[in-house]
Amino acid sequence: MDEFMKAALAEAQTGMDEGGVPIGSVLVHQGRIIGRGHNRRVQQGSAILHGEMDALENAGRQPAHVYRESVLYTTLSPCPMCTGAILLYGIPRVIIGENQSFLGEEALLQSRGVQIEVLQNDACIDLMRRFMEARPDVWNEDIGES
């Protein structure tokens, strides 16, 4: 696992430690993390603070070319909302820790030219599995199934 996925996984663990959904993300530009975040819906009572959205928010306002030159790392396949943000900002590449727990809008991203790489990382899979078993109510709320 490279340093950027390790950073995203550390964010996911922070989310779990805070009582939230363990999904983490980092935005990398020219080999440097410019934004990091984790799902904070539970902690902040937010409808939109998924890991990817939090990382984008924490990157701050960037010139358009920065997004177009960046890579987004996320521990879980992006949902429709996060996919929309990826497309809106023109992020060309997304590295996904795993998509076994949840398969997001990878096909849409690929159809729009975004390069996707899915790692099926055991640590990402295990963290989500443990969370989903422990907190099915929160997981189902977050993905809209309850």
Which stretches of the chain drop beneath a pLDDT of 50?
146
pTM of the model: 0.96
80-89 and 51-59 helices cross at what angle (nearest 10)? 30
Element (H, E) at 42: helix 41-44
Q: Give CA–CA dist 131/122, Å, rounded.
A: 14
Tens of pLDDT, residues 14-56: 999 999 999 999 999 999 999 999 999 999 999 999 999 999 9
Q: Which of 3, 11, 18, 52 is catalytic?
A: 52
106 included as an active-site residue: no
Angle at 51 between CA 48 and CA 57, to 5 degrees: 70
Q: Give CA–CA dist 89/70, Å, rounded.
A: 10
